[in-house]
Structure 1
């Protein structure tokens, strides 16, 4: 189902770049207490999980798994905001750091937009630990692409009660082209610099499996993905990576109730990337707004102060579909704190 979103931006935050930058850079982020868990993998690598502290919850209290975006982590403000919402609603919350995101991983490979096996491992781990708990997942940007692809691959076998994905690059090749245009090139440079630093740091700690070109010459995503992402992760080239990892073709196979939130003015991609109704399964509700930027969606509060609308809309979806995800007296306080 494709429908118009109820989101309306704050009058002073209508510009997509302002929405995007304010949410990721300007927004304040109070300290958040977490408990860290390292999940050892069968291939000798590891994943780092950040859990909300246990607060006397029942064994069947719901669990919300959060998947961050490219170069994201627990420091991502959208992740912290949703973890606070999970806590306020009496749920367990856990952020999955993708392989190599929190700190350099042990293997040459790292995470990418189509890597769903690691997420499947985390879901199985959570299922084993909390066998009776209803489970939901929320993914942002790259994490949203991973989540939607996983849901399409699993179909009816997906062990989730519901899911949400925000600002998803459904077609990776077209996104790689769109982010090279106009002001969007600033985001491209920022993201690639983060990737370059991560790989340079890792390859000082472990031996690279093959010689690579000077990272500083890889200034756009097709070049970077051709030289780095594809060969490290078993793809023929960037086009092969984009074709096999894009979530768009998997949307029609999703059988878990899934909310997808997208803005037409997302500066990371062009509006024509938004899936058509025919591309969606009956289980997918795609809400599209005219404004919102990339993982922005900032509206105005009572006195014009910024209100982080995603942290209202996503919990509202979870309250309807995730058993045990119920409001308590701290919800309003969490929403106001953003």
Structure 2
């Protein structure tokens, strides 16, 4: 008969790495045994919320427990980001993080988490969505090259709208102006809807806007599409070429990915990652989101980690060079 004291001694005698591996192996046993919360830093109804709910609905079929999306807007998504970074690392509180994780450290360094790369663990990609450069019909440009020529001939006279200082479409515009060597006037708004209204009225002349938001006015002819911000064409606007055709290498998108708190056991991350891959691989979900101009991405943790690191560096550099400050 083997005594409990003997088993305990054998366990303590095992190498530390072996004990850690044993603990990790058992960490996912029974996971999940209760609902999983997925936090998003956006209000209900937008693309980020819609995508989060579609993915969560599909993930719960894999996990066998409800996956509940919780909207925690505020402080440029920092409310949701911080709540997850500080949550118990057990896999029951996850984050639908976005491009703001790469922007906030340079734009608003007082917001937490100050170092998302150290405080959050990437699980996998969810989606990418591009912006379309569209202009009021009064702008005498039919393509990106002509628009750049027009802006160069009229320095500072083109009013370029955005959904807010530091928003991805603002940074897209700032990078565009830097790469094109043009001077434009940035006019920030509180969201894309009021900016679009001003563009329709001709009080601003141009803006980069999410394809799905710009589509109605483009189809009615109120504005004219000149270029797509991603390296590839948008399936919703196949006739509009990428900006990269004029400015090689230009590739700006808004992205969303799933994160967990640092310290979440590897077996739990693997379980969540497998459920996420099943969701993003689902043809029905992909087709559903494509109708909204969203390209669902199946990417592993390494892809999301590389993206966050790369954009944290590139957006930080642009923000510093352009002297961009929050409102």
The answer to which structure has the higher helix fraction is: 2
Q: TM-score, normalised by structure 1?
A: 0.31
Between Structure 1 and Structure 2, whose CA radius of gyration is higher?
Answer: 2
